[in-house]
Amino acid sequence: MSDNDKVTLPTEASDVTQGDGPVLEERYIQPLADIYKVLGDPTRLRILHVLLHNEVCVYDISRKIDMGQSAVSHQLRILRNARLVQFRRAGKEVYYSLADRHVYTLLEVGLEHVSE
């Protein structure tokens, strides 16, 4: 997404009066819903939490969340397809990390919201 395509939300209630605020463009609705759908799975949230600060191999992820490697790999594929994680190969090992700072921010804001 280029700077010209960035969407901004009103930051103050006074910026939107009686429904006169900007409407989210249709082209953003489904991709945004898809991201939240992926984030709506508890297993995927556990995996993302493991990846918050470190690059981690599949074996270590599976050990930390007490789940089989094939099940973890399946969830990682979904996260990768949603562009929420990235990976790199080192020999036979595959290491995963958050795709970018946006993913970290999504998790951080969500955790802040539920902990209030």
- Is 10 contained in some domain? no
- Is 1 contained in some domain? no
- Is 6 contained in some domain? no
- Is 9 contained in some domain? no
The number of folded domains in the chain is 1
Closest C-alpha among 112, 30, 45 to residue 85: 45
pLDDT of residue 15: 54
d(C-alpha 44, C-alpha 34), whole Å: 14
- Is 17 contained in some domain? no
pTM of the entire structure? 0.81
Domain containing 87 equals 28-115
DSSP-assigned beta bridge partners for residue 98: 85
Q: Are 51 and 87 in contact (CB under 8 A)?
A: no
pLDDT beneath 70: ranges in the chain: 1-19
- Is 5 contained in some domain? no
pLDDT of residue 21: 72
- Is 64 contained in some domain? yes
Residue 83: left if φ>0, alpha if ψ -120 to 50, beta else—which one?
left
- Is 43 contained in some domain? yes
CATH number where 36 lies: 1.10.10.10
pLDDT of residue 84: 98
